[in-house]
Structure 1
Amino acid sequence: MAQNPFAGRWRIVWMSGWDQDYVDMDVPGHITFGAGSSGSFQFGLVQAQTDCKLDAQQSKRIQFTWHGFDEGDEMTGRGHAEIVGDELQSHLYIHLGDDSAFCAVRPATAARKPTRQRRPD
């Protein structure tokens, strides 16, 4: 089985739907992919567990569904991400709610600005 290029923790450095102060309100915003199909993310007061599936055609694209909470309110949704250079360019959808593009980087490069601040396709 091929190694998962998404595995590990990524620091969220930009979101189109929320400013960075909100993203880092409780802890530094992040998304983590496990070696298998599980993962998690937190930004602001939103915390969730993910169920991920690596795209069989493109190993640099992953899709996920998620279940979590925002200040005690249960939420679900979906998302997808792609590795572009050394960035994770992603989009997160809240079921019957908001959506946001976001950019994340590995912790070693978290201090720099993302190269692209637009919605990934």
Structure 2
Amino acid sequence: MTGFPTSSDIYLEVDGTRVAVVQSYSAKASKSSTAVEAFGEAEPVATIEGQTRHVVELTRLYATDEAIRDGIDFYSLSGFSLVVCKPDRKIIYSNCQWSSIQESAALGSMVLEKVTLVASRRIVTEV
């Protein structure tokens, strides 16, 4: 890796291959729920849990040398994973799709300023 120093602890992976490193990230999980109403009751009697949605914003994404050699196109990526390694655990956001990409870099560089992605699953493993 050359250029701006990034953390190798946050990276994108496609089919087990690291394709980019990420300087930082922020994640937001939200869950929908539905109220169950009963005839004659002033308030809902229960709520039903809905699906969880994971939205992650990545800042300063750098393609790896191997990905650049392979001609990576971030705009065509789908079904990839974001891996975040922490001292005591690893967090994997899997089956990701990007929802927005913001570029701001010198000509010919493979740097993306901000990428927002949506993941179908979040897995935490102990290390």
What TM-score comes out, normalization by structure 1 length? Answer: 0.28
**Greater CA radius of gyration, 1 or 2?**
2
What TM-score comes out, normalization by structure 2 length? Answer: 0.27
The structure carrying a bigger strand percent of its residues is 2
